[in-house]
Amino acid sequence: MSGQPSPAVQDYLKLIHHLEQTTDGPISTQEVADGLRIAAPPATRMLQKMAQSGWLDYSRYQGVRLTDEGRRQALLVLRTHRILEVYLSRSLGYSWDEVHDEADLLEHAISPRLLERLDAALGHPTHDPHGSPIPTRDGHLPASDPVLALADVPVGESGSVARVNDEDPDLLRHLADVGLVPGVTVRRTAASAPWGTIPLQVEDREVAVHAGVAPHIFVTLNAAPEGKESSTDPPSPDFNDPEASS
Amino acid sequence: MSGQPSPAVQDYLKLIHHLEQTTDGPISTQEVADGLRIAAPPATRMLQKMAQSGWLDYSRYQGVRLTDEGRRQALLVLRTHRILEVYLSRSLGYSWDEVHDEADLLEHAISPRLLERLDAALGHPTHDPHGSPIPTRDGHLPASDPVLALADVPVGESGSVARVNDEDPDLLRHLADVGLVPGVTVRRTAASAPWGTIPLQVEDREVAVHAGVAPHIFVTLNAAPEGKESSTDPPSPDFNDPEASS
DNA sequence: TTTATTATTTACCCGAGGGTAAATAATATG
DNA sequence: CATATTATTTACCCTCGGGTAAATAATAAA
């Protein structure tokens, strides 16, 4: 049903997939309209049409859910987006707070062939610069290790930064400044200090971040809960290395 | 007037500029419609609208001409297109017969910022892989040396390939095969042989091309009309090096 | 110079994807 | 439980950029 989705449909699919990641129920028309910064009526109409095309399950007044085919398409768009992010970051010197907007511009214009060329030139990266996994060519997300928000890491425990929230460029710049990028080892050295500050050990440095940033950083806890013992090192496959900041 | 032209308007501007290169009178509605592979009526309507926006001079039944502002815009699109061609060719291993289509896909999506980054990364190239000059950032074409179609080069004369027609991928593949790429030295060794074949000396090799290809190759004649004497070598500034063929 | 041919234009239609205003369903509140 | 509020939907509008059919102007041929 419906060959290649239009750029607009791709944007809807991408957004709905994103919203489904952080919501369990169906996605409301309102959330979609807000996310795309358009009015609700055109969103309703588009969702109905996309349901007819088989991308969504839609029931009046109840919101939408991606179908399997819709999810596959969404993941293909996401694959394009994230490969472009890696390319902009690694090959063109973009900092990781700049890549998102530029990838949004390019993701609907690039040919499948160029995409695969970029992917190959990059050595088939598995994660984007923020640590988000890159879906496979056939539209599936490989299962990833369980992660924990840094806010929920118990005091004393350490782990490896797996992914950071990429929605706020200001946050990304700050994280680059303090060295909280995917792949680094981080340790909660103490309970939250007064004035909402969280003391951390990032690699060898002691830093303190505002409590508000902790929920946006996701780590994989180290196997050994105590001591400096690190059993096997490579839980981080091929993380890229976004430069510090602009 | 009219801030950023839409992708469609950009395509019209680019085509009209191209047609003006090989036609002296105004460009007819028919030529535009044919060039864009659309029907004449929508072309008429669009040309009228573009005239209102100040891109074109249009008079009923008489065809169109680019205004200065229209030409400037067309050259900016061409700049984007050609820088992308150089990038695809040099940095991503595209052969010179593949770059055109891919550049067409990307030229409307790339941000000005990324474009300037590519331009800088390439060292501000002055010509695309086919030898066509790249317009400047402010939308002007630097004056270039006079060229002569290989078909019009007198027997015995030699010159340097400045530019080749980039409209036919098959022709481009053939030219790459025989080594007729921008920058090489070519010499007409004899008059056209029978069966429409033209004998040439390309660098050190003797080749013969079909007479039909000669009008699509443009050379700058060497100062010295005879002998192997080549006065000063660098009339070709920074030509890129498209690989042989796929 | 009249006529046939071709190019151009006008007057329409279409789908895509935005917008508003108003009706209706769902939900929260008194 | 009745009512106020909010979300959703329907019914309509718009622009953009394609399309056809038919009228008209320009041009070539008889």
Q: How many residue contacts between A and B have a Cβ separation below 8 Å?
A: 38
What is the per-residue pLDDT for B239? 46
B120 touches chain A (CB under 8 A): no
Evaluate whether residue A190 is within a structural domain: yes
Domain boundary (B144, B168, B198) is at: B144
Nucleotides of D under 7 A from a protein CB: 7-12, 16-22, 25-26
Residue A214 one-letter amino acid? A
Is B160 found in the same domain as B122?
no
Per-residue pLDDT of chain B (246 residues; tens, 9 = 90+): 567 899 999 999 999 999 999 999 999 999 999 999 999 999 999 999 999 999 999 999 999 999 999 999 999 999 999 999 999 999 999 999 999 999 999 999 999 999 999 999 999 999 999 999 999 999 999 988 899 999 999 999 999 999 999 999 999 999 999 999 999 999 999 887 777 899 999 999 999 999 999 999 999 998 654 444 444 444 444 444 444 333
10 Å Cβ neighbour count for B122? 17
Protein residue nearest nucleotide C18, by CA to C1': A42
Question: How many Å does it take to go from CA A120 to C1' C15?
Answer: 38
Kindly report, residue by residue over B185-243, the tens digit of the pLDDT.
Answer: 999 998 877 778 999 999 999 999 999 999 999 999 986 544 444 444 444 444 444 44
Helix (H) or strand (E) holding B112: helix B112-121
Domain boundary (B96, B118, B144) is at: B144
Asked if strand C comes closer than 7 Å to B52 Cβ, the answer is: no
B83 vs chain A: nearest CA distance in angstroms?
15
Residue A23: CATH number of its domain: 1.10.10.10
Report the domain count for chain A: 2
Give the confidence band of A121 by pLDDT, cuts at 50, 70, 90: very high
A116 touches chain B (CB under 8 A): no
How remote is the C-alpha of A10 from its chain's centroid? 17
Nearest to B105 among A91, A111, A117 (CB): A111
Q: Is the pLDDT of residue A19 over 60?
A: yes
Give residue B124's domain range: 80-144
- As to burial, measured by CB atoms within 10 angstroms (0-12 exposed, 13-18 middle, 19+ buried), residue A211 is middle
Cβ-based contacts of A109 with chain B (< 8 Å)? 105-106, 108-110
| B129, β-bridge pairs | none
The CA distance from A98 to A20, in Å, is 25
CB A75, CB A140: distance < 8 Å: yes
The CA distance from A238 to A43, in Å, is 39
Evaluate whether residue B139 is within a structural domain: yes
Is B117 found in the same domain as B60?
no
SS (H, E, C) A91-117: HCCCCCCCHHHHHHHHCCCCCHHHHHH
CB A155, CB A190: distance < 8 Å: yes
- As to burial, measured by CB atoms within 10 angstroms (0-12 exposed, 13-18 middle, 19+ buried), residue B78 is buried
Contact A109 B111 (CB under 8 A): no
**Taking Cα atoms as reference points, which of B39, B68, B225 lies closest to residue B148?**
B225
Main-chain dihedrals φ then ψ at residue B128, nearest 5 degrees: -80, 175
B121 touches chain A (CB under 8 A): yes
B118 touches chain A (CB under 8 A): yes
pTM: 0.89
Evaluate whether residue B37 is within a structural domain: yes
